[in-house]
Structure formats: C-alpha cells, structure tokens
Amino acid sequence: MGRFSLRVATLALPCLLTIFALPIRLSSPVFADTLSKGAVPLIPRAVLFGNPEVSGVALSPDGSQIVFLAPHRGVLNLWVQALEEGSKPRLLTNSTNRPTRPASWSIDGRYLITSRDSYGDENTVLIRINPTTGEEIDLTPGKGVKAAIWGDDQDVPDELIIGLNDRDPRYHDLWVLNLETGERRLLYEANDGHSVSVDWIDGSWQLVLRTRIKPDGGNAYDLRLPGQKGWKPFLSFSFEESQAGSTPLGFDRNATWLYGLLIKDGLPRLVRWRTEDLHSCTDDCPNELVYQSKSGALGVELSDPETDAPQILIETDLRSRKIIIDQELLNDLSALKQLAKDREFYIVDDDLDSMIWLVSLYSDTHSPQYWIWNRNQKKGRKLFSINPLLDKYKLSAMESLELRARDGLRLPSYLTRSTLNQSGPQPFVLLVHGGPQARDYWGLNSIHQLLANRGYHVLSVNYRGSTGFGQSHLLAGEGQWYAAMQDDLVDAVQWAVDEGIADPKKIVIMGGSYGGYAALAGLTRDPEVFAAAVDIVGPSNVETLLESIPPYWEPIRKPWERMVGVGRVDLEAISPLTYANRIQSPLLIVHGANDVRVKLSESESIVAAMHANDLPVDFIVFPDEGHGIEDPRNSLALYAVIEEFLAKQLGGRFEPIGGAIKDSSMQWQSKSATGSIGNK
C-alpha cells in the first residue's frame, strides 16, 4: 500500500498560489539616502524574495542523498548531493530562464519526478529525470493537458498512477504509467465525472473509493473492496460536513484498516474502519477513534514505514502542536526539541525505514533551516539555511491575535509591527489571503517583513470562510462575499485603529486572488476606510468569474457555487465592478496574462470602467505569467512597483526600482495621473 497523507479537505477554489515567487539574487543595491545614521537598514528586495541558497529539499528513499533547488547562473535549478561528509552538490538541470520546479524521488530512488507548465497556463507536464545523468524525458503530453500524480506503491516502484484530462478536459482518466518505458495503460475512464481513488491491494491496482457530488453539494462515497464486482454505498456527508473536511483517506499498507477524517462538534477527528467489517456492513459501518482534534486542522506528520499507521499528528490553530501516537518516538522528538531551541521543527521527509529524517527548523524571525536527524545515532546535522542573508537584518516578530467580529465570531489573526520602532498610530497594511477557503499561518512571512521594514504595521486576518478553524468558522462564510466576509476585514482594521496601532488616514488593503477581490471590495464598499489598494489577480465580476473557471474544476463546481451563494445572492450586487464609480483612492492592479483561474479580463474590465469614469488607476500585466509569478525577474518588478506605490500612498520608505522593470516582462497598461511609479 502507498502512504496516504491526511489533510483537511478543501476545494480547489481560486487561490493565491505562487504570486510571490523567488527572484534572482542581486548584488547589494544602492538605496536612496532616506535614513539617518544608526537607523534600521532597508532589507533588499532580493534578500526577502530573491533566490534562496537552497529550497525544495527531498530525501532519497534509501536516505543516502538529497535533491534540492539552488541557483545556477541566477536561476533555480535542481541539484543532487550525497549525504556523506564532504560530498559536494552536483548540478542536474540547466534552466537559463524560468526556475525549475521541485522534484520528488520515485519509490526506488532510480528517478526524480518534476513538472512544468507553459508560462502559467496550468497545463502540467510530468517529467522524469535520471539523478545520475540528468537525462530528462516527458512522461505526459506536452501541450493542452493537465497531468497529476494519483498514487504510487513501494511494491511496484516502476509504476505511477497518473490522471490525464486529454480525453475530456473536465475530468481526469486514470492510467498506470511505467516509469522505465513511459508506456501507460488505462485503469479508469471518468465518463461520469466521479473522482476515484486507487490502492495497491493483493498484488494489483484496484479502484477502492468513488466520490459523488450530491444535489446539496455534499459528498457521497462508494466502496469496492478486493473481490467485489460492484460499488456499494459507504459514507454520505452533507454539504456542511464535506466542506469541513469529512472524508475517507485510504487503506493502510496491509489493507487491514481504512482511515478517515470525520467532523464531530465542528472539529476533525481521525478514525479508522476495520476492513473485515467493511465486507458486511453498509452505510453505518462502526469506526474506531484514533484522535479527536481540539483545533480546526489535523494532519499526519509521520507514518509507520511498515504499516502506514499514523505516528505523529499535527493540529493547527493560531499555532501548531504535535500529537504523538507512537510513544517510541518520544526520545527522538525530545532531542529534536532541544536541537531546535527557540524554533519550531517539522519532519519534512524520511527514508523507507524511517531511520533518517529530513527536518525543517523554523520561526517567525529566522531563516528556515534543513537538518538531517539520524535516529540510530541520535544525532542531527545541519544541511542548509534557506536564506542566511536574511538573518543579518532586524526582523519583526509575528504576533498571534484573537480578534472578534461585530457578531462575536472569532477572527484568528497575525500582526507584524514596523521594525522602525516609531510611537503612536502608524501607516497600516491589511494583507488578505486568497482562496477564500485557505488561511494565513504563523511563521516567517516575507511580505510581512518587507512591509514592517518599510515602516508599516501589517495585519493578516483569517476571516469567516477561511479553513483551519472549525466547521462553524468556515460555513459562516457561505454566501458572504462582499458582506460579512468583508465586514470581518473592516472590523479588524477598526480594532487596529481603536488600539492606536493604525493611522486611520493611512490604511491600505492588499491581496491576491480572493485577496485581490477583497481589495477591490474595500475601495468600492468601504471607500472611507482605505487610503489605497493593491489587487493582484483578483476577480472584479463574480458572474464572469463563475462562467470562466477552468474545465477541470467541473467536479467541484456545485459546492464552490454554493459557498459563493449562487441562486441566493445577486452576483451583480457582490461584484466590485458594479460599483467602480465609487473608487476614490489610488489603486494598483496586477495580472498575469495567462491566468486560467481569474482571467485577465477581470482586471481589464474594472480598469475600463474606471477610465470611463475618469478615475485614475495603475495597471500592470505580465504577459508570460498566470495565476502566480514564476519568473524571478518578474517577481523583482512586481515588488518594486508595489513598494514604491505604497510609499507614495503611506509615506513609508522604499528601495528604488532601479532596473527591475526593465529586466522583466512587465507591461504598463495604465498609469495614474502622476505617472511617477517606475519612472526613476
């Protein structure tokens, strides 16, 4: 059986993915002399968002080597390195333009698997790389098809189960792919659009669980055990239960137990069903409780290498904590806690015997580090610091807050104060996460640190509709676009004003994807609150957004539309485009021309409406990007424009743009009346 992973189930809604990507490391820039001697130095954009020294580390199955991303001639490429003392890294790829994506190992360690798309179009190609020779082979069609890995198993290390939507762009058929030959055979054709999970049981790939979307937007699961010819009903969840994360997860390695995630009292619990009972019971199969979470998000950090049984769970609210299921790991975890000192740690990867662990050490004010932990030797060895240059600068701590909305709903939030140590209310940025079914986390946040270093306090709010804080918090966002979800953001700003943190005349709202929508909503719904806004790939018209979603989102269209409120909410009334004439404050809009989630026309429409009303707007487009920024030169240009825009609206400091725009693909589609950004 292949290892399963436990995550709180969420929908693939429009979400900020890679919009804040990793630009090329530059030489030390020359800054405008805006500071007096002894003042806090500016952190260069290239330090905050530049190429890390290393990232995307993955441990080989035998624990003898790693693959990782590191710069080569200014572009992130894949490298491999043996873990023996004194071994040197070896360059594997040679991309000279766009960064290579992270890679994972095949189960036997013979190959690496990575992917690419075409300038942000999300048509994903799976690529096999020989870690010895660097030879690359495309495993899936190179154009117009979105490929996805569905599963693997250590008993058949030369096979992958992949999904391809080449026959019907709405649905993924499942194929058994031979990694050695590249040949594939059809396993499942998704004519009905149902999502099917596959496990390796009794020496063959078998379809074991089938998901159906119910009329109310909930999920129904059918089960087909080995030896059974037909599907039988197994679990049925309401829309509310499904949205909160109730779902079966997968069988353990010996097919003795089927694990699942169920919601009780609004919080997740990990359960399991005995397979021998599943042969006879129907839709009321008894289950055994493994763990009841006390917070809204529950995941598996480590599983037993022989059985796949969960050994360490991690539950997350404002902060995360580990739940130790296997007490034999206590000594290792205690030693790692001492090693981490004032940092948190997370087990990123392990070898097939789980005796070598790849561990990440992290905090809110230090560059993350990768370590190897040898369980036999009870010894740790530092491999890399992701961005050691960052540790040379003064960073600001991220505060975890419990705010309240006007109706009493809890609003878990994170505040980072300006590092300039100025007294009294300060210029303030409300940074809104995308999704909306996503969330903000505690930890090192480069955007928070950029803004704090430039002289702003910055707040991120897990508004209603965010995931990870329980069923009631998530479902409170149903049908609340432009309504209570936006109220939560305004209420958080008001708290900051009342506390003397935010200057009420210098507040900017900024975000990507749904966060970009919220920024547009801020200037159209509450124009008196916000002095300016930054909208990155945000939709302006909810009706056209729904009409243009990618075809492969079809299986989740119904629950997504229900969360938006289709059929009960006037879509025109919740679209910022409808109220474009209300915009009174400066607005910067950013979009990737190849965005398939939020089309470029969403930004073009509101820009046209503002022009029709003689309203100024700054609008930039990256012709070679999609719903995120991958090219490092484009990332540098993006942040250069954003921080100068904020400086002009809020009076903060900034690193001069220099050649950032010239070196990127960025195009100005519209400049405000001053036309001053980027002209220096």
Which tokens is 314 given? 């991690």
Which tokens is 18 given? 């890679």
- Residue 508 pLDDT greater than 70, yes or no: yes
Average pLDDT, integer, range 347-361: 97
Residues 6 or more apart whose Cβ sits within 8 Å of residue 104:
58, 112, 113, 114
Number of separate helices (H) and strands (E) present in the chain: 12, 36
Instruction: From the candidates 252, 440, 595, 624, give the one annotated as an active-site residue.
Output: 595
Which tokens is 375 given? 């369980």
Confidence of residue 115 (pLDDT cuts 50, 70, 90): very high
Between the CA of residue 377 and those of 251, 329, 372, 542, what are the distances in Å? Answer: 32, 14, 11, 57
Instruction: From the candidates 197, 385, 413, 513, give the one annotated as an active-site residue.
Output: 513
Strand partners, 251: 258
Average pLDDT, integer, range 580-587: 96
595 catalytic? Reply is yes
CATH number of this structure's domain 391-670, picked from the four choices 3.40.50.1970, 3.40.47.10, 3.40.50.800, 3.40.50.1820: 3.40.50.1820
Instruction: Please tell me the predicted confidence (pLDDT) of residue 187.
Output: 96
271-282 pLDDT per residue, tens: 999 999 999 887
Sheet holding 184-188, edge to edge: 147-151, 159-164, 173-178, 184-188
CA pair distance 95, 392, nearest whole angstrom: 30
Residue type, 125: V
- Residue 466 pLDDT greater than 90, yes or no: yes
Strands 457-461 and 369-374: unpaired
- Residue 586 pLDDT greater than 80, yes or no: yes
165-215 pLDDT per residue, tens: 999 999 999 999 999 999 999 999 998 888 999 999 888 999 999 999 999
What is the SS3 assignment for 533-602?
EEEECCCCCHHHHHHCCCHHHHHHHHHHHHHHCECCECCHHHCHHHHHHHCCCCEEEEEECCCCCCCHHH
**DSSP designation for 29:** P
Output b/e per residue, 468-503; b: 16+ Cβ within 10 A.
bbbbbbbbbbbbbbbbbbbbbbbbbbebbbeeebbb
Number of other CB atoms surrounding residue 454 within 10 Å: 23
- Residue 5 pLDDT greater than 70, yes or no: no
Average pLDDT, integer, range 233-245: 94
Tokens 């190959």, residue located: 111
CA pair distance 515, 533, nearest whole angstrom: 11
- Residue 612 pLDDT greater than 70, yes or no: yes
**DSSP designation for 421:** -
513 catalytic? Reply is yes
The predicted model scores a pTM of 0.93
Residue type, 288: E
Q: Which of 31-40, 199-208, 380-389 has the highest mean pLDDT?
A: 380-389
366 catalytic? Reply is no
Average pLDDT, the chain: 92
The CATH number given to 53-325 is 2.130.10.120
Average pLDDT, integer, range 215-240: 92
* In the chain, domain spans: 53-325, 326-386, 391-670
